[in-house]
Chain A
């Protein structure tokens, strides 16, 4: 459908669009490919303080290993430092955070968007105020009770906190999406004799996926990228990937191993590639078929 639209663009406009997208793709991807390239080098080449061309040629890597590429960073991160443990922890946290916040968010967002009561407005505002609070304050407030109730350091606690922090966002986003689905849809279903729940089940669910998947993507990225919560609330063996990567970087007292961190970042992005490729197909193709036509 869309490609037919694209074909109707005049040539100069198409050139402009492709040129702009190419520029953006370069901007978005260049730092990442630079990292990917650099992850096979030694630290002195990656940061290339002496001369920036070292990062491309790998001069110091060659001097050390006799080749311009080395997999020491990857071996170190995955085998020596057991990065796979953190990868498993991250998958557990992400899976539960996304499922929980989408379930609550979908039901809540739909209810709020269809309700005309005043309290719904104030509920949304409360959610907003909660989101306005810097996470770092929240976490330091949680610390003491969590230690006292013996909940500190385990994955479920972190999942609940991440869901709580994420929920206002999910609620608002799905609320906006449901509002863009015309009320007439479920009203006509109700005229046909459906209950409110049936209307939701048979009319809304088929058309809500683009919004839900987009929201799910953001919930996922939040859980995946979070540092403030996971670094403070998880014990050593339960660490997720991001605090683990941060631990590779070192402190005032001691040397870090930056290349472990770089290799870890690159390898952590690979599963995301597959995930996004999978979801973008769903967003782009099948799902829009049931979408609203005005």
Chain B
């Protein structure tokens, strides 16, 4: 298992500080079904000598981290020097791929995570109060958003919210605007992705909280009730503290997953309006020429981002640990 954990990490770190050798280009005649032309190609003999001497490529340190496709330090400095007000500065920054992706990713992470935790908890409490007979069916149905393959799930929803689909029509009718299209507006696309994010992940929070509710100490609830606690107070002071480790866990996993948001962007064809770091990696690796170093650097930035995001949760876990030993 260590092999699978350590090896990729090391290789990604190495890849992010190396780039391929400078290509030796030559102009050659290329012929095909549609005639001949002069085209540029790589001189393999000259390049292969370079490759064998340094198989990892050129060492470039943190150059890739700082280039335009990533932290874009030079561009940010220039924007700072040129802009006369904050608006101009943010416009210039928002035009850089990394910051544009961060704007969406952070908005998505910090709206979806709290909403889905509250939503999941509400469903869990609700289902727990249902009668035994219908519990089974409700649990199964609640899991459907998670079970239906995200690839197809988002495709189906994508069609339902099309301006001619059933949900799209319903929204047009509700908004009394026959030309409204969710897919053509940036703000509405963001809202759509956030709603999808909550819908897709709420079952996860629900199942974890529901399992946790099964171990709820009944005598504590009992004594709270005898002390005259209202139902809200029982939830607030007995149930939530009991579920706290699970809430922390769900927050941890969901912060991480939402920060790496990827499938909804591809499924909803939303790349014109919203991008994320994972989408940038996908884009770097998906072209005809794969940009491995750029993808490795974006992966490292994702890991740093997750580490910063989780630091409060991790701090808590660390405190628990120290308390224990």
Per the CB under 8 Å rule, do A and B touch in the complex? yes
Residue of B141, B217, B252 contacting most chain A CB atoms (<10 Å): B141
Our pick among A31, A46, A118, A294 for the contact of B220 (Cβ within 8 Å) is: A294
Is A52 a contact of B165 with CB atoms below 8 Å? yes
| Interface mask (B265-290 → A, CB under 8 Å = 1, otherwise 0) | 00000000000011001100100001
Given A116-B324, A129-B307, A133-B299: A28 touches B141 (CB 8 Å cut-off): yes
Identify the closest chain B residue to A283 (Cβ): B211
A-B pairs with CB below 8 Å: how many?
234
Interface locus among B3-11, B58-66, B184-192? B3-11
Q: Is the CB of B302 within 8 A of A133?
A: yes
Determine, out of B73-81, B104-112, B155-163, the stretch whose residues face the partner at the interface: B155-163
CB-based contact B142/A28 at 8 Å = yes
- Given A25-B142, A136-B285, check contact A169 B169 (CB 8 Å): no
Given contacts A52-B166, A134-B262, A265-B152, contact A277 B215 (CB under 8 A): no
Flag whether A17 is at the interface (Cβ < 8 A).
Answer: yes
Complex Cα–Cα for A14 and B214 (A): 20
Chain B residues with CB under 8 Å of A134's CB are: 260, 262, 277-278, 281, 299, 302
The distance from the CB of B18 to the nearest CB of chain A, in whole angstroms, is 14
CA distance A5 to B221 in the complex (A): 11
Query: Do B140 and A104 touch (CB < 8 A)?
Result: no
Q: Which of B162, B296, B324 has the most CB of A within 10 A?
A: B324
Q: Is B204's beta carbon under 8 Å from chain A?
A: yes
User: A residues within 8 A CB of B139?
Assistant: 276, 280, 284
Q: Name the segment of B40-48, B95-103, B129-137, B175-183 touching the other chain.
A: B129-137
Contacts of B252 in A (CB 8 A): 128, 172
CA distance A221 to B146 in the complex (A): 8
Q: What is the minimal beta-carbon distance from A195 to any residue of chain B, in angstroms?
A: 21
Q: How far is the CA of A196 from the CA of B146 in the complex (A)?
A: 37
A29 vs B156: C-alpha distance when bound (angstroms): 13
Q: Which of A60-68, A91-99, A267-275 contacts B (4 or more CB under 8 A)?
A: A267-275
Of the four ranges (under 10, 10 to 19, 20 to 34, 35 or more), the interface on chain A belongs to 35 or more
Write out, one digit per residue, whether chain B residues 219-236 have a CB within 8 A of any chain A CB (1) or not (0): 110000000000100000
Q: A238 near B: Cβ within 8 Å?
A: no
**A70-78, A138-146, A186-194, A197-205 - the one binding chain B:** A138-146
**How far, in Å, is B139 (CB) from chain A's closest CB?**
5
- Kindly name the residue among B9, B211, B246 whose own CB sees the greatest number of chain A CB atoms within 10 A: B211
Say whether chain A's binding surface is mostly helix, strand, loop, or mixed.
helix
Is the beta-carbon distance between A28 and B131 smaller than 8 angstroms?
Answer: no
Do residues B211 and A211 form an inter-chain contact, with CB atoms below 8 A? yes
Minimum distance in angstroms from A112 CB to a CB of chain B: 10
Binds A, one of B19-27, B31-39, B85-93, B120-128: B120-128
A44 interfacial contact with B, CB 8 Å: no
User: Which size bracket describes the interface of B in this complex?
Assistant: 35 or more
Q: Is the CB of A164 within 8 A of B136?
A: no
Of A24, A25, A126, A134, which is in contact with the most chain B CB atoms at under 10 Å from its CB? A134
- Does B55 touch A at the CB level, under 8 Å? no
Residues of B within 8 A of A241 (CB): 149
- What distance in Å separates the Cβ of B198 from its nearest Cβ neighbour in chain A? 10
Knowing A136-B285, A137-B12, A172-B249 are in contact, say whether A6-B130 is a contact too (CB < 8 A).
yes
Could you tell me the dominant secondary structure of chain B's interface residues? helix
Known A20-B126, A210-B214, A245-B151: A217·B207 in contact at CB below 8 Å: yes
Shortest CB distance B267–A (Å): 11
Q: Is the CB of A31 within 8 A of B148?
A: yes
A52 vs B9: C-alpha distance when bound (angstroms): 49
Contact of A161 with B by CB under 8 A:
yes
Residues 302-325 of B, flagged 1 when their CB comes within 8 A of A and 0 if not, give 110011001000100110010011
Is A79 an interface residue when CB atoms closer than 8 A count as contact?
no
Known: A132-B302, A281-B136. A294 touches B217 (CB 8 A): yes
Other-chain residue from A25, A32, A262 in contact with B138 (beta carbon distance below 8 A): A25
CA distance A134 to B140 in the complex (A): 29
Q: List 10 A-B contacts (CB under 8 A).
A: A6-B130, A28-B141, A35-B148, A35-B156, A121-B318, A129-B303, A136-B285, A142-B8, A269-B148, A276-B147
Chain B residues in contact with chain A, CB under 8 A?
Answer: 1, 4-5, 7-9, 11-12, 122-123, 125-132, 135-136, 138-153, 155-157, 159-160, 162, 164-166, 168-169, 199, 203-204, 207-208, 210-212, 214-215, 217-220, 231, 245-246, 248-249, 252-253, 256, 260, 262, 277-278, 281-282, 285, 290, 292, 295-296, 299, 302-303, 306-307, 310, 314, 317-318, 321, 324-325
Chain A positions within 8 Å of B, measured between CB atoms, are 1-3, 5-6, 9, 13-14, 17-18, 20-21, 24-25, 27-29, 31-32, 34-35, 46-52, 55, 104, 116-118, 120-121, 124-134, 136-138, 140-142, 160-161, 164, 167, 169, 172-173, 176, 179-180, 210-211, 213-214, 217-218, 221, 224-225, 227, 241-242, 245-246, 249, 261-262, 265, 268-269, 272-273, 276-277, 280-281, 283-284, 287-288, 291-294
**Other A-B pairs, 17, CB within 8 Å; known A3-B132, A50-B164:** A2-B129, A17-B129, A25-B141, A31-B145, A48-B164, A55-B166, A117-B325, A120-B321, A124-B317, A126-B5, A129-B307, A133-B302, A140-B290, A214-B211, A276-B140, A283-B210, A283-B214
